[in-house]
Structure 1
Amino acid sequence: MTTTGVHPASMIRRAQVLLALDTSAGEVDPGEVIAARLGVSGETLRLVAKRFAETGGDIWATVGRTKRAAPPVPSLVTGEVEARLIALACTAPPTGHARWSLRLLEKKVALIDDIPDLDHSTIGRILKKRNFALI
């Protein structure tokens, strides 16, 4: 990886797309031909051309795009949430149930004010990540 956070192959691929779309050397091949020759999709051609136009023709800004430093939305699942969820799964299941299920945990979490609402698939991923099996 480079210091910009972009894989070198991605930078090379975008540079190749820019060269193939360069109209200063004459007529440009159709997009399907360029895409097939470079081994990229038509959508990649469109996105690189769009980025080039958005950056005012700045080649380096187009080729060396950086990844965002943080995810766009902070995760609701923190270490504390994981710990609380595992602690809850270790308790006795509600009356009438032999064991906790993911959907039952989902309903219980929805009732607890200081734990964000999580769906059953998220709960399952958290438990699996910690090698916790509902028995």
Structure 2
Amino acid sequence: MPKRHVVKLSEEECHALEQICKTGRIAAQKRRHAQILLLVDQGEHGPSMTDAEVAERMELTTRCIAKTRQRCVEEGLELALQRKRRSRERTARLDGDAEARLVSLACSDAPEGQVRWTLKLLSERLIELEIVESVAYETVRQVLKKHHKTLAETHVVHSA
């Protein structure tokens, strides 16, 4: 079956990739991608190895080889050598107002029957008060860690 993304490197590109492979202080991922592209090169000077051969030689998966080839063809040589940017966008669960309410809640007296606030109790109370729709106790921990100076003197929050 013919490859969908055929890598054909010029002599200058081959030389640049070889320099990357020989350089001592370079990111391992960048060196690995340069080696992959040199091995799958189907140009005049390339060895034209198959994905399976390259994967076996470099101890990688064929999927990694195919994705590197595809990225080189579609996005260019420079982008194929760099790490791919994360595509997932995350929005903060707690905005500034919600964080302030969480800190004031943590500084208040513990609920009846409890000696002190726990992360789970705080996250449940935020949901009860309809400050947020849902929140993990890890998010609560991170916010309280950010505001540790406010909470450090009274030791109000404990994980257990």
TM-score bracket, normalised by the shorter chain, equals 0.5 to 0.7
**Residue 120, structure 1, aligned to residue 120, structure 2:** no
Aligned pair partner of 2:39 in 20, 24, 30 = 20
The structural deviation recorded for 1:87 is 1.6
Aligned to 2:78: 60
Give the alignment partner of residue 118 of structure 2, picking from 71, 76, 101: 101
Distance 1:11 1:30, change over 3 A: closer
1:76-111 residue CA offsets vs partner (Å, 9 max, x unmatched): 234443332222111011222221112111110002
5+ residue gaps, structure 2: 1-25
1:44 paired to 2:61: no
Identity value in percent: 26
Q: Is the Cα–Cα contact under 8 Å of residues 76 and 116 in structure 1 kept in the other structure?
A: no
Q: Which residue of 1 is the match for residue 107 of structure 2?
A: 90
Q: TM-score, normalised by structure 2?
A: 0.58
In the superposition, relative to structure 1, how do residues 90 and 75 fare at CA in structure 2: closer, same or farther (>3 Å)? same
In structure 1, C-alpha distance between the alignment counterparts of 2:138 and 2:145, rounded to whole Å: 10
Amino acid at match of 1:67: R
Preserved contact between residue 15 and residue 63 of structure 1 (Cα < 8 Å): yes
Q: Secondary structure at the match of 2:134?
A: coil
Deviation at 1:115, TM superposition (A): 4.2
Unaligned runs of 5+ in 1: 1-6
SS at match of 1:109: helix
Displacement of 1:67: 3.1
